[in-house]
Structure 1
């Protein structure tokens, strides 16, 4: 380009290359440490709110309940089906979950040599609010329950330091809170910061939706009416319905059904009740309908899965 100093161009290209090499080394070490820590449970449970994911084979779509979470994805690929929306992500990306969200999840790329790898960090809303208050004002885009963004190298480096702390429980207790805070800050400062900002800026709407989802969690066997839920959220029916679907990717009725089925699966795994008792506990009047919905959600009938857990 006219007027551009060739030395500056070469310098910039060299700096980019060095940064790329450094990021590649960090990624390689982080992948190795995640696998090593995952294979030693006493390490990967050392830091509260941090979960390591290592999956060595592809997994068919499974109904999963997510919580407000940040995922640093290191390798492999996963697909989320949220209502009518399909979201694909893979190594080198950052995934943000803004609300309790039930969704179908499928691991699409993973094997013994290159497993699916991710580091999950639960979002501390109090720390997040403090960070947002300290940073320059910024208007986020429209709220989404799930966002996928490029993984900033600064967050990757901080994540490596966090995983290293798992080797020493004492170091983890003392230093992990500040490193988790740094990761949130690095993400807030990046393109993916919009997703975290939405958790704070959209708090009023999400608080109303959160009141409803919390109520649903505690009333799995109670029949629901959208009018009653809207009143609980302090919104009009139309506003509530739209806000609920924007936040969770599904309707209130479908959300409630998925919560009931998740609780049913937990009870099936405990093997402490009959199938009829479990279906009644989660609000099904018909055991046959319960079995059909359960099989549709999890791929097998509850009675068959009970034998698997035995």
Structure 2
């Protein structure tokens, strides 16, 4: 997915674990996903309170929406550098094409992970048969030694893991005895959790990880903190067990994200991750010039137009990171 804001903020993002206690709650902000009918998405990362959770640096949560009302997803070819994109759906289908030559359908319960280190471009369009579109788009920052990694695309359909009063789909990392084979450049955890009404779940996790829980359906508690839909709960390092519960009368669903604190400062603007303002300027110029850095997406009859890069900010924005 592209960040389609016409004036995207330039962010210098750091990291730091928070102390013990109840989960910190990150509120989402609504961002229109382009077009005259603009499908709304809820963005919880990055924000002023927190820029990263592990290497997770971007989280957009959308739907359920009717494409007939909002136009669905129609994001034309756009670039990425220095990151991996993670696509995960609850409902609907999205057609993906990229400059590596990948052509895939994103379906519920199936992971599509694209690596755009040195540079890649792709487009995403909801399929004509989609009547409800509902999912998340996540980005993972690549560490410095791998931030120029070659283009790559991976697809994985994780099995459903049965837990007491719940199920899990582990699409990245290891949880509840299930390990994803998908390759990442830093240790990560990504899993969809569905809890039955009244269920209380305790999960063993790596104490070196910080964790975030993004609430999707129902009301869910995370370390005793109540999260309603679109909110993201955050816990710092030092916990070997996580307590998650569904106090409501209907099933609840959430995404659990985790990883060790990302010990590098990154600069994030539009769809680029970099280490300096000068790199951002160069990436933008390469995209506008049609550079081989990003390649090209195979022609898609009737597809959306290639996205132009927004204007660069007139001034630099001071670095800001996670609270200590």
Higher helix share: 1
* TM-score (ref. length: structure 2): 0.36
**Greater length-normalized contact order (CA 8 Å, ≥ 6 residues apart):** 2
